[in-house]
Amino acid sequence: MSERRPAEFHPETIAAAYGVASDTAFGAVAPPLYLSSTYEFAGFEEPRTYDYGRVGNPTRDLLAEAIAKLEGGAGAVVTPSGMAALDLLIGRLAVGSLVLAPHDCYGGTMRLLNARAQLGQIRRALVDQSDMEAFEAQLRDHPALVLIETPSNPLLRVVDIAMLSARARNAGARVVVDNTFLSPARQQPLSLGADYVLHSTTKFLNGHSDVIAGAVIAAEAQEVKALKQWANVTGAIAAPFDCWLTLRGLRTLFARMAAQERNAMLIAERLRIHPAVARVHYPGLVDHPDHVLACRQQSGFGAMMSFELVGDVPAVKRFVRAVRGFTLAESLGGVESLVAHPATMTHADMGPEARANAGICDGLLRLSVGLEHIDDLVAGLEAGLQAAEG
């Protein structure tokens, strides 16, 4: 796998073909899966490109290169989960460093930050990042790392990556953007001034709901080197087969995103006019409060949305019993449509107070819109909404 594609290709081409036909042994078109944990030395004190699988693996490295190119970074580390990717960054901070995160961040992110803070390893602060005064006030405490998540989970709030990054970096912080919801097909945080991009590749990058993995992409080569070293030190490395599957999924990222996003827009428009629905959170709708910012910062609106049912938990129960075509499950970004109830599922660990603070009400449902025919999705949703109305 010596000859690799140069970086000047369009992102669609990188996703579809990076590493294709680069096998020097047999000319395999699909990049081979290297499962070997160890590699033969050419001779005494003569290691080859690879020596041991924790340090490096050709399948993992190929995926890391493809993801890094899509994000416009200097390189990437592929980790065993999205949480491990965040923890890789946190693990390199000096003890007692302050991490500033959004008040409505992904529930697992909140849990990890809380756990590390409780052990005294970091300090963590939460802030509404659309409130610039509050954000600036937190920057005066000199965070080492500022985490941005946009669009946010599950409320699809959009914050200004370029502005927040500039201010955070002025204050001496490094900036990481969780780009899981949009993927590099729709948003490229490094080009907006972030230092790192974080992914749960479990979601859109793999896209087939059959791998848990993550990635950190860094803008600077020096940071990539340091992160790779740290992944080797701590063993936070994804398994080769998972990487191979993820690269296979990545091939269709742009096509999946385009089709799922098209379905999502149509569904959002339906939900908005439905009497069973109190509110729809989808930045593609022109009356979404962050629509203009989303138009500027993103190259599309993605396939995630959430909506509030009239009638709270009883309506939610009736909805999930009757809905068709949307499987009640956590996770997102796969080819199949899913529905989740954040208050009892993805964001249960946050506790009712933090949820209320973040604006996550008990009647909120989150949709990950898939590749099914739009008519089937609309009909299945309609069945749920009718039941919700009681």
Ligand X SMILES: *Cc1c(COP(=O)(O)O)cnc(C)c1O
Active site amino acids: 54, 106, 178, 203
Work out how close the CB of 236 gets to ligand X at its nearest, in angstroms, rounded to a whole number. Answer: 11
Q: For residue 104, state whether it binds ligand X (rule: CB under 6 A).
A: no
Site for ligand X in 201-240 (CB under 6 A): 202-203, 212, 214
The residue behind tokens 């398994």 is 239
- Closest among 205, 202, 216 to 247, alpha carbons compared: 205
Nearer to ligand X, 157 or 318 (CB): 157
| Cis-peptide into 154, omega within 30 deg | yes
Nearer to ligand X, 213 or 259 (CB): 213
Using the CB atoms, write b or e for 234-247: b if 16+ within 10 Å.
Answer: eebbbbbebbbbbb
Q: For residue 106, state whether it binds ligand X (rule: CB under 6 A).
A: yes
- Please work out the total of residues on this chain that contact ligand X, with binding judged by CB under 6 A: 16
- Stated as kind and residue range, the H or E segment containing 176 is strand 174-178
Nearer to ligand X, 73 or 380 (CB): 73
Q: For residue 368, state whether it binds ligand X (rule: CB under 6 A).
A: no
Distance (Å, rounded) from C-alpha 75 to C-alpha 224? 6
Nearer to ligand X, 178 or 308 (CB): 178
Q: What is the DSSP letter of 350?
A: G
Q: For residue 187, state whether it binds ligand X (rule: CB under 6 A).
A: no
Q: For residue 87, state whether it binds ligand X (rule: CB under 6 A).
A: no
One-letter identity of residue 21: A
Contact 347, 107 (CB under 8 A): yes
Q: Using CB atoms, what's the residue nearest to ligand X?
A: 82
Q: Max Cα separation, the chain? A: 76
One-letter identity of residue 347: H
- From candidates 187, 200, 260, 368, binder to ligand X by CB under 6 A: 200
Piece of 75-83, 134-142, 278-286, 309-317 that binds ligand X (CB under 6 A): 75-83
Work out how close the CB of 6 gets to ligand X at its nearest, in angstroms, rounded to a whole number. Answer: 30
Distance (Å, rounded) from C-alpha 346 to C-alpha 153? 9
**Binding positions for ligand X, rule: CB under 6 A:** 81-83, 106, 108-109, 149, 153, 178, 180-181, 200, 202-203, 212, 214
